[in-house]
A = this chain, B = another copy of it.
């Protein structure tokens, strides 16, 4: 993770501002021979793009991706495949509504990156948040689509588990439901609650936070590299880099602080393909290495700072101002975070897989099995 690049063997570099001509990413280190077309990427971008319901920004972006390099259609292989060279993907910005940025150009929205970018760089592209805009996350989703190609056998899904003060009941979890409501909600009883609540937030010109849970099933044991490349450490860094995220937890997470050792220990029994665990407080990671259980992470998103109620602030000249944000915006940025969290999970896992394969050959040692070394 350094500036605008993350990953080690599977590396993603993103670029672009909200109101510039385009944004995109370069995915480097992808294995060769994977089937990859623009459609394979587009399907994931379509899940992220705004404009789908009244609960997200009304900015209309087709978010059509172009793959500019790193793939090749070879008649003999029967389809377009990755070549092992960098995959450059570009998404043009289409709906940069022309308007006067006068106030935003010189004022700092409280709770927004405006001031921090100014303090660091002295110059900032204030149009639509510039580089700090959530539009950057489209590039992550495109990279995640490539990562998924590497992760055969791994299923990565995200759901919202809390909006404002309203939490779902995990006992009612239904993954299929997340695809049928605009909230990525897995709890049927929470859908109408969130709908009513968010309508109120939206009409008040207010905003509210959320918690997203992202789960990767089918991850074999052995991925992740202690001590400073721990799988959970990489995940924490990757998820915290998503706009508006203020907290990340793995497995039991903060709740683990209140558990005893007896409660927290995920007991093991012999199994055919590694141990069978009685619970998953670890969230699929022990000592920074995957255990074969589902990898479970949650991320907390703050409410967006773009609200109608005026807030006290300052401008570039150092004067006190009152600021309120007009125009389209998201009442709950968490609604668009689920596909992004999935993409970051996919990128981190793909990188962990390749690194594990590099160091060890890629297998796992199972209790009772004869160890084989690559």
Contacts and interface: CB of A to CB of B under 8 A. Distances in A.
Nearest to A307: B261
Contacts of A33: 121-123, 373
A88 B368 contact: no
B228 A6 contact: yes
Nearest to A73: B125
A181 interface: no
Contacts of A131: 69, 83, 85, 226-227
A321 to B, nearest CB: 9
A114 B355 CA distance: 20
26 contacts: A1-B229, A2-B229, A3-B228, A4-B228, A9-B355, A14-B227, A16-B68, A16-B88, A20-B68, A20-B69, A29-B359, A32-B360, A33-B373, A68-B90, A72-B123, A83-B130, A84-B360, A111-B265, A117-B226, A119-B291, A120-B222, A208-B260, A249-B249, A318-B366, A355-B358, A357-B362
Contacts of A119: 221-222, 274, 289, 291-292, 364-366
A279 to B, nearest CB: 9
A26 B4 contact: yes
A189 interface: no
Q: How many monomers of this chain does the complex have?
A: 4
A120 B360 contact: yes
Contact of A259 (B82, B282, B302, B334): B302
A149 B125 CA distance: 20
Contacts of A270: 314, 318-320
B3 A229 contact: yes
Contacts of A226: 3-4, 85, 113, 117, 131-132
Contacts of A112: 286-287
A309 B85 contact: no
Interface stretch (A39-47, A50-58, A169-177, A230-238): A230-238
A120 B364 contact: yes
B318 A367 contact: yes
